[in-house]
Copies of this chain bind each other. A is one copy, B any other.
Amino acid sequence: MIGLSMNQKLWVPWMRRSIQLALLAEGMTSPNPVVGAVVLDSTGKLVGEGFHTGSGNAHAEIEALNQAGGKANEGTIVVTLEPCCHHGLTPPCTEALIKAGLKRVVIGMVDPDPRVSGNGISRLRDSGLEVIEGVLKEECEFINREFVFRIRNGRPWGILKWAMSLDGRIGLPNGSSKWITDKTARDAVHKIRSKCDAVIVGGGTLRADDPHLTSRGKSNPEPLRVVFSRSLDLPKSANLWDTKIAKTIIAYGPEGNEDFFSDFKDGPERLLLNSNDPSELLTSLAGKGCNKVLWECGPLLATSAIDSNCVQELIVFVAPKLLGGKSAMCPLGSFGFESINSTYNLQHSFLEQKGTDLCWRLAF
């Protein structure tokens, strides 16, 4: 709030409420951002609230205006994101705001979508409405960091998650890893999945663990499940091939042996890529509407994803166990670092205890 003018500060409490509203649909709106809005009448009384519930549904502004009805006249709308001015799946919000007779629009952040990107604000000002920008801008950008990242970089925000013992092992030398963390931590992983648009594993994880990769019903629809395999050396039978609960994509590079599909039953979608570069996979997933993906893969793919800048955030669960093991079962492979000063250095973001385990969240 440092650096805000008096005129901006006035609207901070209402912007906080709009942010709360926006977050009610966290993980549900991709490829759209989360957006929240409140409408106040001409005397400053709350007369409408709304948030965007998902692609194709009404925008937050429309939800709030519908609640307010005629009371919006001469009133104010406080909205986390610049109102759109283009015809997408729904009509432009700017026109609805003008039609409702609002006198003032308070905005958290400019929409980075090139179709809007200041044009919405211009349209409102040109129509005689007062527009106040930049109220809790950082907070509004933070709740949409994945959307903003995708718009700017053309690929989704990547989160890498692993669970390890106190001595940094993700499994015993014999491959056994069930369960390093306890149920509270594993439930937390289901919650994290529910906020993501896709969950990605490699062929190795599929062969070793035969995972379900669902949120166990915590989100509907379930996130997209993606197997990223160079070789297509995959089992004929796997939990991921059952797409009744959730969709599955089998992504593979040019070396993939497509014989695998010869007597393969229907269900999973096939995605041939031009390379084994994780960023090419993510570009494809952005095209499918993913703002945020979760990497739940083994050391090889995780290392490759980090090295190709496909991981923006790390979530590490640490269990109070000692596994030991000569043949390393470590979370990551080699980056080729020669000096500690050149290693990846992350920023602390959030730390909490999940049952007996620690959950540490960090940003790259």
Hey, which bits of chain A sit against chain B, CB under 8 A?
A: 164-169, 172-174, 176-180, 303, 306, 314, 316, 318, 320-326, 328, 330-340, 343-348, 351, 353, 356, 358, 360, 362
Q: How far is the CB of A337 from chain B (nearest CB, A)?
A: 6
13 contacts between A and B (CB under 8 A): A166-B362, A167-B330, A167-B331, A167-B332, A172-B338, A322-B332, A323-B337, A324-B334, A325-B330, A325-B335, A326-B333, A351-B353, A358-B360
Whether B168 lies near A362 (C-beta < 8 A) is: no
CA distance A345 to B322 in the complex (A): 7
Q: How far is the CB of A319 from chain B (nearest CB, A)?
A: 9
Whether B176 lies near A360 (C-beta < 8 A) is: no
**Given A168-B331, A325-B335, A358-B358, 14 additional A-B pairs, CB 8 A:** A166-B314, A167-B168, A168-B330, A176-B339, A179-B340, A303-B324, A306-B322, A320-B347, A323-B335, A324-B335, A325-B330, A325-B333, A330-B330, A351-B353
Q: How far is the CB of A62 from chain B (nearest CB, A)?
A: 43
Most chain-B CB neighbours within 10 Å: which of A169, A174, A324, A333?
A: A324
A interface, by DSSP: helix, strand, loop or mixed? loop
Whether B169 lies near A339 (C-beta < 8 A) is: no
* Neighbouring B residues of A358 by C-beta, 8 Å: 351, 358, 360
Q: How far is the CB of A308 from chain B (nearest CB, A)?
A: 14
Whether B360 lies near A356 (C-beta < 8 A) is: no
* Neighbouring B residues of A333 by C-beta, 8 Å: 324-326
CA distance A314 to B166 in the complex (A): 10
CA distance A343 to B336 in the complex (A): 31
Whether B337 lies near A348 (C-beta < 8 A) is: no
Whether A340 lies near B167 (C-beta < 8 A) is: no
Q: How far is the CB of A318 from chain B (nearest CB, A)?
A: 7
Whether B172 lies near A164 (C-beta < 8 A) is: no
CA distance A229 to B174 in the complex (A): 31
Q: Which chain B residue has the least Cβ–Cβ distance from A162? A: B167
* Neighbouring B residues of A320 by C-beta, 8 Å: 345-348, 360, 362
CB within 8 A of A348: which of B335, B339, B356?
A: B356
Whether A332 lies near B340 (C-beta < 8 A) is: no
* Neighbouring B residues of A173 by C-beta, 8 Å: 334
